[in-house]
Amino acid sequence: MSLLIKGADLAGAGAGDLLVRDGVIVEAGAVSVPADAEVIDADGLVALPGLVDLHTHLREPGREDAETIASGSAAAAVGGYTAVLAMANTSPVTDTAEAAERVAELGQRAGLVDVQPVGAVTKGLAGEELAELGLMARSRARVRVFSDDGRCVADARVMRRALEYVKAFGGVVSQHSQDPRLAGPDACCHEGELSGRLGLPGWPAVAEESIVARDVMLARHTGSRVHVAHASTAGTVEVLRWAKAQGIAVTAEVTPHHLVLTTDLLAGYDPTFKVNPPLRPAEDVEALREALADGTIDAVATDHAPHARHDKEHAFVDAAFGMLGLETALSVVSDVMVRSGRLDWAGVARVMSVSPARIAGLTGHGRPLAVGEPANLTLVDPDATVTIDRQASHSLSRNNPWHGRTLTGAVHGTVLRGRPTVLKGALA
Amino acid sequence: MRHLLSMRDLDRDGVLSILDTAASMHDVQRREVKKLPTLRGRTVVNLFFEDSTRTRSSFEIAGKWLSADVINISGKGSSTSKGESLRDTVLTVAAMGVDGLVIRHGASGAAAQVSQWVDAVVVNAGDGTHEHPTQALLDAYTMRQRLGDLEGRHVAIVGDLTHSRVLRSNLICLRTLGARVTVVAPPTLMPSGIATWAATDGFETAYDLDEVLPHVDAVMMLRVQRERMSGGYFPTAREYTVGYGLTRERLARLPEHAVICHPGPMNRGLEIAADAADAAQSLILDQVSAGVAVRMSVLYHLLASSGAGTAEGSVA
């Protein structure tokens, strides 16, 4: 059995067919239809290497009422993803080889995307002692990305040791950059005029920027790789630009919501828009778009953070942080970056597949759409308009900030190792 | 006006309407028999997730003098402290047939959020560090009693601005009434973005109390929340008092006609000297007394007849 994708625009490089057999692209260009082939008519669609999300919260184990690895995998596939990195802040925390292997195994069982566990940097995310980074790296889960996401590795000495240690196995530390001492424990939004008016305790932008600055210097000192998770401020962009110009091994991601949504949305105290790092003012959003377009920011990552309804129905400061993102990321990037001409589809492939896979060390993803390469790919209808409905979700949660918005560009299909997981926007 | 969540819910006529009605209510307060039948058959719940003897009692008396059935529910030991969501807690209370919900909560925005979940009229009795609209109304009422129309009058608000809901409501209320406002605090206790905020809303900021005091018609001292002192907002209580306290020396430099307000509870000797708190210009006890009348007026405007906007005067 083979799969023929007919007439797709190959990442913006002109139309062509792709013939897939045994999970591998075996022919490209003008391909005649083999007798046994399942054919996807991709006329008018753009084919991208399968999307890779560097930053997903799947909530299993511990909060399976909000999301399971299976439900999150379904949401990811529908969103065009073929691989996701599952963050470590589950309960229990993914800070051992066994925990990491269990996550990977549940991902394989769901079978819709490759679920690659992220290991905690420190035991229990406590920020004090290194977790068993080496054992996680050498486990069957082959962990390469380590993060205490949700918390910053604030202790410079611990961060230094982590950066040094992961060099042994080509790992990378993904940092939630946020100095906890520069804001109180109740901080819940961007610190600025609006937080002043609303009486909400905020994080100043410098809480993020100072950690990013420190970490790039630590990366230079250790000769290791650091990754800045969910960059959110113009100041962070400036530091990244400087660090990259110095040749320091730093990479960074931005979320779809930080590319569009601004702190003004908090005026009504709607916890749907409560996210960590917080939504920032328009000038930060503009700086992030520019940085993504020019390569200062390497990747788009969703920070998909599902929450049960009752965890959001509290007073704003008490409500949970986070918003959904897997199913809408491609549409948001298409709408804000492609339509405006800031990125072409090859650029989208770079920031949503090629770079994330490279950063995460995933060798089977983010590959060119060429003969001999694994057939992980995403088909996008660039002209489709979608109105986001929070009820129409494969996630178990409904904290969708895009509800009611109409976006241009939608995932049509997803193929994982030659097998369609999504066709015409629905699970295959 | 369906709810009173923020002073932004009221325009100038709305504020004046509430203050005028409060004057009538104040007269009632001085009668031997204080009860009016206005809210007979109405049920008002004081849902206080945060301790507040003063505000809760004031709302309770106001409701009772208007003949409403008033029930107090304390947040301590409430369902939310046992893990229930705020929405589920207030829906449970509202399902008991409540007409008015007076809510005090330690989180900014809580009252506004609650108003989206229930049919009852919601009055914000203080939400975190956001607003405390009835406090602002009673402050304005008290100042007007002594100073007359506040249009063009100069009010200084001094102290821990960052953490003060009284500040935020008073700023809006006083500017709505045409007063000139200067806020005074050390830079560490100024809310973030205050420069932009001041430019938009037309008030002034200052760090030097002594430069401002000689030019004011009223000075409102805000409570220093002692728990903030460990946050490094200022070095010591002594230094704070020297810089920003209404000391005996500063009292002497206050214009003779100027009045002194404080929303209470006071830290005597810290932000306000005993001499100032007890001075002839002090309106601090008048504020407390006015609290009941103003809250009667607010409940009347929101709950009398069919509820919204049925009282005399125009309400936004």
Q: Which chain A residues have a beta carbon less than 8 Å from that of B162?
A: 196
Average pLDDT (B96-102) is: 95
Q: Which chain A residues have a beta carbon less than 8 Å from that of B80?
A: 314
Rg of the Cα atoms in chain B:
19
3-state secondary structure B208-259: CHHHHHHHCCEEEECCCCHHHHHHCCCCCHHHHHHHHCECHHHHHHCCCCCE
Average pLDDT (A111-119) is: 98
* Residue B315 scores a pLDDT above 50: no
C-alpha dist (Å) from residue A80 to A49, A120, A349: 10, 26, 12
Better-predicted residue by pLDDT, B230 or A372 = A372
pLDDT of residue B51: 85
Cβ distance of B88 and A310 shorter than 8 Å: yes
Phi/psi at A82 (5° precision): -115, -10
Report all structural domains of chain B as residue ranges with CATH numbers, in order of start: 7-131+291-315 (3.40.50.1370), 133-287 (3.40.50.1370)
Fold of A50-360: TIM Barrel (3.20.20)
Note the pLDDT tens digit of each residue in A331-353.
999 999 999 999 999 999 999 99
Note the pLDDT tens digit of each residue in A246-295.
999 999 999 999 999 999 999 999 999 999 999 999 999 999 999 999 99
Phi/psi at A29 (5° precision): 110, -135
Q: Dihedral sign, CA of A237, A241, A247, A251?
A: positive
d(CA A396, CA A89): 18
Average pLDDT, whole number, for chain B? 92
Average pLDDT (A180-191) is: 92
| Burial (Cβ within 10 Å: 0-12, 13-18, ≥19) of residue B27 | exposed
pTM for the structure as a whole: 0.93
Residue type, A12: G
Average pLDDT (A10-35) is: 92
Q: Give alpha helix (H) positions in chain B.
A: 12-29, 53-65, 86-94, 110-115, 133-147, 165-176, 194-201, 209-212, 237-244, 248-253, 274-277, 284-303
Cβ distance of A317 and B108 shorter than 8 Å: yes
Mutate to test the interface with B, among A269, A272, A283 (most CBs of B within 10 A): A269
Query: Chains A, B: CB contacts under 8 A, how many?
Result: 82
pLDDT of residue A163: 98
Q: For helices B12-29 and B165-176, give the axis angle rounded to 10 degrees.
A: 110
pLDDT of residue B231: 77
C-alpha dist (Å) from residue A13 to A34, A44, A51, A303: 24, 13, 18, 30
Note the pLDDT tens digit of each residue in B110-168.
999 999 999 999 999 999 999 999 999 999 999 999 999 999 999 999 999 999 999 99
Closest-CA distance of chain A to residue B113, Å: 7
Note the pLDDT tens digit of each residue in A212-230.
999 999 999 999 999 999 9
* Chain B residues with CB within 8 Å of chain A CB: 80, 85-88, 105-110, 112-113, 127-131, 162, 165, 168, 191-194, 196-197, 231
Average pLDDT, whole number, for chain A? 97
pLDDT of residue B243: 96
pLDDT of residue B305: 67
The secondary structure of residue A191, as a DSSP letter, is -
Q: What residues does CATH 2.30.40.10 cover in chain A?
A: 2-46+373-427
How do strand A419-423 and strand A426-427 relate by DSSP bridges?
antiparallel
Q: Which chain B residues have a beta carbon less than 8 Å from that of A204?
A: 192
* Residue B235 scores a pLDDT above 80: yes
State the complex-level ipTM.
Answer: 0.87
Chain centre distance of CA A235: 21
C-alpha dist (Å) from residue A393 to A26, A390, A428, B88: 34, 6, 15, 24
* Residue B79 scores a pLDDT above 80: no
Q: What residues does CATH 3.20.20.140 cover in chain A?
A: 50-360
pLDDT band at B170 (very low <50, low <70, confident <90, very high): very high
pLDDT of residue B204: 98
| Burial (Cβ within 10 Å: 0-12, 13-18, ≥19) of residue A152 | buried
Average pLDDT (B54-77) is: 91
* Residue B259 scores a pLDDT above 50: yes
Cβ distance of A315 and B107 shorter than 8 Å: yes
pLDDT of residue B77: 57
Residue from the list A195, A268, A315 with its beta carbon closest to the beta carbon of B192: A195
Average pLDDT (B178-202) is: 96
* N-term to C-term CA, chain B: 6
Residue from the list A192, A198, A313 with its beta carbon closest to the beta carbon of B109: A198
Mutate to test the interface with B, among A188, A190, A314 (most CBs of B within 10 A): A314
d(CA A123, CA A186): 24
Average pLDDT (B273-297) is: 96
Fold of A2-46+373-427: Urease, subunit C; domain 1 (2.30.40)
Peptide bond before residue B265 is cis, with ω within 30 degrees of 0: yes
Mutate to test the interface with B, among A198, A206, A273 (most CBs of B within 10 A): A198
Q: Are A41 and A386 a contacting pair, CB within 8 Å?
A: no
Q: Which chain B residues have a beta carbon less than 8 Å from that of A193?
A: 192-194, 196-197
Residue from the list A195, A197, A313 with its beta carbon closest to the beta carbon of B86: A313
